[in-house]
Amino acid sequence: MKKLLYHFDTDAIPSVFDSVVAYDGGADHVTQLAGITPENCYSLVEGAIYTRAPKHKKNTALFVGGSDLAAGQELFAAVQKIFFQKFRVSVMLDSNGCNTTAAAGVALITNSTDVKGKTAVVLAGTGPVGQRAAAMLAMNGANVRLTSRKLDRSQQSCELMKQQFDVDLEPMVASDDDTIAAALDSAHIVFGAGKTGIQLLRADHWQNHPTLEVLADVNTAPPLGFEGIDMMDKNEDRFGKRIFGGIGVGALKLKLHRACIGRLFESNDLVLDAKEVYQTAESLL
Ligand SMILES: NC(=O)c1ccc[n+]([C@@H]2O[C@H](COP(=O)([O-])OP(=O)(O)OC[C@H]3O[C@@H](n4cnc5c(N)ncnc54)[C@H](OP(=O)(O)O)[C@@H]3O)[C@@H](O)[C@H]2O)c1
């Protein structure tokens, strides 16, 4: 029986990246649908849950993507509300690669140091990847600061992650030398989650920092998030700190994304969000 993946994208144009990875992850056929919302998804979900016998339902799965994490979360929740009893299929949320990218970066960090009780800073953490990275670091016992150029944006992201995962994050501003210094004060871990091609830290912000131990940056387009690192860095020692760059993280992200797609077809009742994707990342290391 063919493994069918229905990709519900909240954007007007569905993601090519997610389509390629879906095939590489084991789907036999991927159907990408654009502009999907909680209001228009009902008949699509019905089509997925009513069409195959119980023992064959694991061969149908749903993937929620798109650039807007808040819209993705709403759609992800709406899809699951339509499921009942055994009328369900496995479903995964990964808007803008939020869960797979964050999980890969955080798993690499936790694999190189015990984050429990340490202070972690997610710089420019208001995007899909940063929000999830902050939540995952907090789930691992770190005290997490989430920064933005604007305090109200970081507050909003912290509240969203509190609602979703019951994690307490500290909203902070990081927009100039003084606020960056305050955000990094006594910190041990930095996760750079800024928009592609945006430098978040100059070399002098981190290279001689007295407490920083591990830095991970997921940006893969120059200029990189942290001046003085290489995007290929994977647990590279620089200035006494462990460094992970965008491709260093990205290799695991891709492997993880494929593994999660493969898992969707193992049973008809998997729900893959931050926690489950993070656990899968750990299992790959
Ligand atoms: N390595 C991989 O495998 C992989 C996979 C997927 C994504 N990525 C990368 O992950 C990163 C995060 O992705 P995303 O979708 O979460 O990011 P995003 O939403 O595009 O941006 C994240 C945040 O960057 C901040 N920002 C935007 N313009 C800025 C500027 N001029 N100066 C300083 N900060 C600025 C914004 O925060 P505020 O407005 O709140 O300040 C924004 O919320 C991107 O670099 C993306 O390329 C990597």
Ligand 1 site, residue 130, Cβ cutoff 6 A: yes
Ligand 1 site, residue 198, Cβ cutoff 6 A: yes
In the prediction, which pLDDT does 120 show?
A: 98
- How far is ligand 1, taken at its centre, from the CA of residue 86, in Å? 39
Contacts of 55 (CB under 8 A, 6+ apart): none
Q: Which amino acid is at 72?
A: G
Cα distance between residue 149 and residue 137, in whole Å: 21
pLDDT in tens, 27-74: 999 999 999 999 999 999 999 999 999 999 999 999 999 999 999 999
Cis peptide before 223 (omega within 30 of 0): yes
- How far is ligand 1, taken at its centre, from the CA of residue 195, in Å? 2
Residue whose pair of structure tokens reads 């965008």 in the numeric block: 246
Distance (Å) of CA 77 to CA 83, 102, 131, 237, 244:
10, 20, 18, 42, 33
In the prediction, which pLDDT does 197 show?
A: 96
Ligand 1 site, residue 97, Cβ cutoff 6 A: yes
Cα distance between residue 59 and residue 281, in whole Å: 23
Would you say 206 and 226 are in contact if contact means Cβ atoms under 8 Å apart? yes
Residues in the chain, overall count? 285
What DSSP designation does 84 have?
Answer: B
- How far is ligand 1, taken at its centre, from the CA of residue 218, in Å? 9
Atom of ligand 1 nearest to the CA of 253: 3
In the prediction, which pLDDT does 18 show?
A: 98
Closest CA to 160 of 71, 90, 93, 80: 71
pLDDT in tens, 237-266: 999 999 999 999 999 999 999 999 999 999
- How far is ligand 1, taken at its centre, from the CA of residue 194, in Å? 3
What DSSP designation does 27 have?
Answer: -
Residue of the CA atom closest to atom 2 of ligand 1: 250
Cα distance between residue 123 and residue 112, in whole Å: 20
Q: Dihedral sign for Cα 214, 215, 218, 220, please.
A: negative
Lookup: tokens for 97: 């690669």
Residue of the CA atom closest to atom 5 of ligand 1: 101
Ligand 1 site, residue 96, Cβ cutoff 6 A: yes
**116: three-class secondary structure by DSSP:** coil
In the prediction, which pLDDT does 227 show?
A: 98
Average pLDDT over residues 93-99: 97
Closest CA to 123 of 168, 69, 182: 182
pLDDT in tens, 45-57: 999 999 999 999 9
Ligand 1 site, residue 234, Cβ cutoff 6 A: no
Ligand 1 site, residue 246, Cβ cutoff 6 A: yes
Q: Strand 234-238 vs strand 241-244: parallel, antiparallel, or unpaired?
A: antiparallel
- How far is ligand 1, taken at its centre, from the CA of residue 266, in Å? 33
Q: What average pLDDT is seen over the chain?
A: 97
Q: Which amino acid is at 108?
A: L
- How far is ligand 1, taken at its centre, from the CA of residue 212, in Å? 22
- How far is ligand 1, taken at its centre, from the CA of residue 125, in Å? 8
Ligand 1 site, residue 125, Cβ cutoff 6 A: no
In the prediction, which pLDDT does 172 show?
A: 98
Lookup: tokens for 196: 């592609």
Average pLDDT over residues 10-36: 98
pLDDT in tens, 191-211: 999 999 999 999 999 999 999
Cα distance between residue 271 and residue 139, in whole Å: 18
Rg of the chain in Å (alpha carbons): 19
Would you say 189 and 109 are in contact if contact means Cβ atoms under 8 Å apart? yes
Label residue 155 by pLDDT band (50, 70, 90): very high
Ligand 1 site, residue 128, Cβ cutoff 6 A: yes
Going from the N-terminus, what domains does the chain have, and what CATH number goes with each? 4-97+252-284 (3.40.50.10280), 101-249 (3.40.50.720)
